[in-house]
A and B are shown apart, each in its own frame.
Chain A
Amino acid sequence: MLDRELVEEVLAAALARGGDFSEVFVEERTSTSVRLDDGKIEELTSGMDRGAGVRVGRGTAYGYAFSNRLDREALLEAAAAAAASVREGEPGTVVDLRALEPSVVHRAKRPTSNVPAADKVAWVREVDDAARSLSPEVRQVVAVYGDSLQRVLIAASDGRWVEEERPRIRLVAQVVAARDDIIQTGFHGPAGLAGAEFLDAHRPRQIAEISANRAVTMLGSIPAPAGEMTVVLAPGMGGVLFHEACGHPLEADIVDKEASVYRGRFGEQVASPLVNGIDDATIPNAWGSFSFDDEGTPAERTELFRHGVLQGWMYDRLRATKDGAPSTGNGRRQSYQHPPIPRMTNSYILNGTSKAGEVVASTERGVYVKALGGGEVNPATGDFVFGISEGYLVEGGEITTPVRGANLIGRAIEVMQAVDAVADDFDTWEGVCGKEGQGVPVGSGSPTLRITRITVGGTGA
């Protein structure tokens, strides 16, 4: 994308006033999206983004500047602006740039750029048809198809030179169902770091049916009970909770600011011995995967909890250097417009040995959470909240009536210590995680798991 001499010149210019390292991140991204709403193909959008960001790091501080332009003048201007944050120091040196080879490559077998627009239109139409034909109570369908190809070049003054292509694809079905005055919604949107072959395993019809079933089922729901109770989380959902409640406080910038509930707890039993948690960017073609992170560190699998004992943090370059630890390859950014920060990739709770059926059967009374609508955590206190988008009562060991209007609220450490069953039916859930105004694709995953006591917020008795 840029020649090495120019990159070396920019890296050197960025270190003109000193600093521990300089880095250039160049990106070109082409994207397509198709949106169907109200039975109509409302929009097809083609996008072209490109730009470069220059960063100078000094301790855990940084200067960052970016430009949409990739010419020498613009890049040197950005380098000078980034360098301006460094107040003193001798000019730094740039080590000869050498290309790093990836140990894991996520290829698109059928690149979406070769797929005609008419096929993409047909996929969202299939979602619309399938959802509407599932039930006359389905009133509205939004289907959104999106793909992108992000090409990045990352080079830094320590000599790293990395090039990567990241193909992404997602198909989302949002369904609204109505019965009398009651309106309910369903959502399903699997995604991958892959090409069009992803939709062979995730058929548009199947995506539509999962979403539509969710909306229609919830029409028969009663208001959720409120208070502390036992909760069983369906496969994938424990991962969503793990991402928010545990993952964010394990990001090294939050730990470094002493704003993490896990600070100073390294090596301690902070979760049930049944909980084994990892963050893994090497999983082939998974939504949160890559070959290199956005600082040019190779993707890796990072252990977070082993039998409930805290194993470590998720590091970017700045925080790893400060702690004298290697980066775990968690330095990510939304685009060239953002400096990298520690982020999760695919964060999973691994399979246990229980059987899902037995976990439910041995639950006398509680709530079964089939789908969560997303959540938030305060990393400093560990307080989190999640909306339940599909939930049921558990009565006498059986999943019974659907419940609506509920959320889960708790504190990370207490809730993870209250896990008393982990099944062996692992599944994933894909989303876009927001932090400091940057959205990045993340995967989460888990088998069925049970929490003995957690607060359910609801309006019912």
Chain B
Amino acid sequence: MPDLLDLCGAAVGTAEGDEAVEAYAEESRRTVVKAHKGDVEGLTLAESRGVGVRLIVGGRVGFAYAADPSPDEVRTAVARARENAAVATEDGFNRLPEVAVAEPMPELFREEQAAMPADQKVSLALDLERVATTTDPRVTKVDEAQIGDAVSRTAVASTTGLIAEYGRTDCWAVAVTLAEQGEETQTGFSYRIGRELGELEWRDVAEEAVSRAVDMLGATKPPTAKVPVVLDPFAGSSFLGVLAGALSAEAVQKGRSLFAALVGEQVGSDVFNLIDDGRFLMGPAAAPFDDEGVPTIRTELFKDGVLQGFLHNTYTARRDGTATSTGNARRGGYTTVPGVGTTNFYVAPGEHSFEGLLAKAEGGVLVRDVSGVHSGANPISGQFSVGATGLRISGGTPGEPLREMTIASTVPEMLKAVEGVGNDLRFFTSVGVPSILIGEMTVAGV
């Protein structure tokens, strides 16, 4: 099997005349084990690799990709990209990035994880399911108990002289439990992500999935009211995707961001700080360089509630004129051209404990789960209306379970209404968020 950089080299070596050619190659080996009723429900072993070729000539971009190509097939992909470029629109901002050397991040690759035999992952999945179904008598079944890992390498090379490569390991545990009481069923979800399974707190995943289901038993629909709301990290993480879309320079340049004209303005409350940091090792999305080979950096997006700027890739930075790439070129794998995306995108932790936030929200709602954000939130206008479940805050603690609520507001209103930020930062895939106190929101029920 040819080396990734050799495949990239085959593409770059095919450039003709003034063409700029970039090849992005990745390979991964993933294992996913699902356990159910004390047995392995499914074991999936996946090996995949592929190369995406971006060709720019006269400001026109063409793209083509191929799964597990031979060097000859890579050259065919270059030819396809060339044909595609011929019918694209000319845009002088289309250029490949200048070469910059990224500081390596060897911590991202763990030999232990790469060498872990499948049997060990199988027994972890069985353990995860066993703990999830034996911790509370009301939870005897899981909808899902999954252990997974991925060992991957990424390489980028281009006619500008760029040659970069790095390896990483990722692992995760997921549990969805079913709590039953009489005719009623409630579900509880938990999830953790890390670099190696040996360090992952999988037991916490099982226990949290159990308590999150059991706590919801007996849930009722609350009356519609404007009340203080505490978003726990699970619920908060759902909203970060909406913010991420609006903070991309691509969205700004195309008139699709509600933040477009607000740099330097007090958009959020002064306790709200939002950061994107590709070099933050605690975050799952850490990487030495982005998907076009530009070194990652730390970018402050909101500081004390004031909007600082946007996330850029090479194209948006050039088009902006005064910006430089923030190392936020992201692709959906080798099959797509780079757009603008987040790395580790997180709300900086504040000074409050979780209990301290609850104490400030007496009579309000602790929202633990929101649904429908991808359909119920409009990233352009910032309006949203989403389904929610949670617990009534009473006497400073979460009590009576609530379901079938909807919460509705706009992103700017919600950011202004942030009254307190917890110290309990937690990452979910690439977004991280602590518990957040929102002064007042409409919670619709009966």
Contact = CB atoms under 8 A, between A and B. Distances in A.
Are A and B co-members of a single complex? Answer: yes
Contacts of A337: 46, 48
Nearest to B335: A47
A378 B371 contact: yes
Interface in B4-48: 36, 39-48
A139 interface: yes
Interface stretch (B64-72, B272-280, B304-312): B64-72
Contacts of B44: 63-65, 338-339
Interface stretch (A7-15, A92-100, A188-196, A404-412): A404-412
A385 interface: yes
B439 interface: no
B386 interface: yes
B444 A227 contact: yes
Contacts of A117: 83-84, 87
Interface string B400-411: 000111111110
Contacts of B50: 49, 68
A69 B48 CA distance: 9
Contact of B404 (A41, A383, A406): A383
A42 B88 contact: yes
A339 B42 contact: yes
A316 B253 CA distance: 46
B383 interface: yes
Contacts of B43: 62-64, 84-85
Given A51-B68, A259-B143, A68 B45 contact: no
Contacts of B67: 48-51, 68
Given A68-B67, A380-B143, A386-B372, A81 B408 contact: no
Interface string B77-118: 100110111011101000000000000000000000000001
B143 A47 contact: no
B323 interface: no
A304 B292 CA distance: 48
- The residue in A60, A140, A228, A407 that gathers the most chain B C-beta atoms within 10 A of its C-beta is A407
B84 A455 contact: no
A113 interface: no
A457 B88 contact: no
A182 interface: yes
B256 interface: yes
A64 B68 contact: no
Given A63-B43, A68-B50, A258-B178, A41 B77 contact: no
Contacts of A42: 61, 88-89, 91
A42 B315 CA distance: 12
Contacts of B386: 385, 407, 457
Interface residues of B, number: 78
A68 B47 contact: yes
Contacts of A183: 258, 380-381
B63 A45 contact: yes
B423 interface: no
Nearest to A38: B254
B80 A407 contact: no
Contact of A43 (B42, B143, B337): B337
Contacts of B255: 139-140, 176, 178
A459 B68 contact: no
B330 to A, nearest CB: 15
Contacts of B299: none
Nearest to A406: B385
Contacts of A50: 67-68
B241 interface: no
A226 B444 contact: yes
A407 B46 contact: no
B432 to A, nearest CB: 21
B387 A385 contact: yes
Interface residues of A, number: 79
A404 B385 CA distance: 10
Interface stretch (A149-157, A164-172, A368-376): A368-376
A47 B65 CA distance: 5
Contact of A459 (B77, B253, B336, B442): B442
Interface string A217-243: 000000010111000000000000000
Q: Which of B186, B335, B408, B446 has the most CB of A within 10 A?
A: B408
A48 B334 CA distance: 11
Contacts of A82: 45
Contacts of B40: 61, 85
B63 A44 contact: yes
Given A45-B64, A405-B408, A380 B383 contact: no
A61 B378 CA distance: 40
A41 B65 contact: no
A69 B40 CA distance: 27
B141 interface: yes
Contacts of A380: 143, 178, 185-187
A372 B36 contact: no
A226 B378 contact: no
B211 to A, nearest CB: 17
A372 B42 contact: no
B121 to A, nearest CB: 11
Contacts of A409: 372, 387, 404-406
B256 A140 contact: yes
A64 B406 contact: no
A456 B41 CA distance: 39
Contacts of B47: 66-68
A381 interface: yes
A113 to B, nearest CB: 13
A37 interface: yes
A458 B385 contact: yes
Interface string B317-353: 0000000000000000001110000000000000000
A374 B374 contact: yes
Contacts of B186: 380-381
B380 A404 contact: no
B329 to A, nearest CB: 14
A292 B94 CA distance: 44
30 contacts: A38-B253, A42-B88, A42-B89, A44-B88, A51-B68, A60-B36, A65-B45, A66-B45, A68-B68, A69-B68, A82-B45, A140-B256, A226-B408, A337-B46, A374-B374, A375-B372, A376-B375, A381-B186, A383-B371, A385-B371, A385-B386, A386-B372, A405-B385, A405-B408, A405-B410, A407-B376, A407-B408, A409-B405, A457-B385, A459-B442
User: What are the 6 tightest A-B residue pairs by CB atom distance, in nearest-first order?
Assistant: A457-B406, A385-B387, A68-B68, A44-B84, A374-B375, A387-B375
Given A139-B255, A407-B385, 5 more contacts: A42-B61, A261-B185, A387-B385, A457-B444, A458-B408
Interface of A: 37-51, 60-69, 78, 81-82, 84-85, 117-118, 121, 139-140, 176, 178, 182-185, 224, 226-228, 254, 257-259, 261, 337-339, 372-376, 378, 380-381, 383-387, 389, 404-407, 409-411, 455-459
